[in-house]
Amino acid sequence: MIVYLKSHEIDRGQWDNCIKNSPRIKPYGFSWYLDIMAPGWEALVDDEYDSVFPIPVSSRFAIKYVATPVFLQQLEHTPLIRTLLFH
């Protein structure tokens, strides 16, 4: 099941493990990069971090919105290799 997690609820270790073991490794998906480029980012996470999707959330005048920050070229759904092989 896919769950929506706020920034403080995300397990950074499991998140980075999913990104590291994905077939398409890009720095944009790692938690340390997202923390710098999109502070307060949130995420959609499937099961036990089998697949992840970052959501760069910002707010202005108490209105939340999603917008891709300048130095985040690509944000994509990232599945673990084992998810691709066994599903």
Amino acid identity, position 27: P
pLDDT tens figures, 33-85? 899 988 989 999 988 888 888 988 888 898 887 877 776 666 665 665 554 44
The 10 Å Cβ neighbour count of residue 54 is 26
For residue 28, CA distances in Å to 31, 32, 51, 63, 81 come to 8, 9, 15, 25, 18
Amino acid identity, position 29: G
Examine the pLDDT at 16 and tell me if it is beyond 70.
Answer: yes
pLDDT for res 31: 93
Q: What is the DSSP letter of 28?
A: G
CB 23 within 8 A of CB 84: yes
pLDDT for res 1: 87
**Backbone phi, psi, residue 72, to 5°:** -110, 90
Entry pTM: 0.78
